[in-house]
């Protein structure tokens, strides 16, 4: 099937273009595992950004939302192709924007609350970041899987990278 002799001249030709790759959506647990791996990298980017922004003298609440934007952008770029095997389209971009705006508000609110819960702790900023990160990651995975990277009836997802 990979190659067959063409009727004229006996040349080898590939006929794989006429056979669509059968892509399947990864299971919930496979997606959650990949999302977690990507999230670890995103958390490093987010937390590193937070500390860099704080070192420049920016107010902690603002630094947190800026680091969230930086980390979320990095994570989206990887998750779109590897975790959710998505073909980018307008609906996806709109849905992602809505999810990230809600997550952004969630991160800001949870972080501000957590900063006030630990006012005397030397770990105040780290604890607030960790709590807001955990809440945001859980919400973000479920919302992206449900609303952003879902497949419409009859639509095949792209083949996962590396498979």
Instruction: Please report, for the chain, the start and end positions of each structural domain, with discontinuous segments joined by +.
Output: 23-148
The pLDDT of residue 150 is 78
Please state the φ and ψ torsions of residue 76, each to the nearest 5 degrees.
-60, -45
Q: Quick check: 123 pLDDT over 70?
A: yes
Q: Can you tell me the distance from the alpha carbon of 23 to that of 26, in angstroms, rounded to the nearest whole number?
A: 9
Of 159, 163, 162, nearest in space to 86 by CA: 159
pTM of the model: 0.67
Of 114, 148, 154, nearest in space to 35 by CA: 148
The pLDDT of residue 93 is 84
Q: Can you tell me the distance from the alpha carbon of 29 to that of 126, in angstroms, rounded to the nearest whole number?
A: 29
The pLDDT of residue 5 is 43
What is the per-residue pLDDT across 78-106, written as a single tens digit (0 to 9) for each? Answer: 888 888 877 677 888 899 899 999 999 99
Determine the 3-state secondary structure of 50 from DSSP: helix
Cβ neighbours, 10 Å, residue 79: 26
């Amino acid at each position: 099937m990979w190659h067959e002799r063409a009727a004229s001249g006996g040349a080898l030709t590939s006929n794989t273009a006429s056979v669509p790759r059968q892509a399947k959506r990864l299971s919930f647990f496979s997606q959650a595992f990949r999302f977690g791996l990507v999230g670890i990298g995103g958390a490093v980017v987010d937390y590193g950004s937070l500390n860099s922004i704080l070192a420049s003298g920016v107010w902690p609440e603002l630094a947190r939302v800026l680091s969230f934007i930086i980390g979320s952008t990095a994570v989206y770029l990887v998750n779109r192709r590897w975790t959710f095997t998505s073909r980018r389209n307008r609906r996806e971009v709109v849905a992602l924007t809505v999810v990230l705006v809600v997550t952004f508000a969630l991160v800001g609110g949870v972080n501000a609350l957590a900063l006030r819960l630990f006012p005397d702790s030397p770990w105040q900023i780290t604890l607030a970041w960790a709590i807001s990160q955990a809440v945001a990651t859980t919400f973000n995975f479920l919302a992206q899987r449900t609303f952003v990277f879902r497949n419409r009836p009859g639509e095949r997802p792209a083949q996962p990278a590396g498979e």
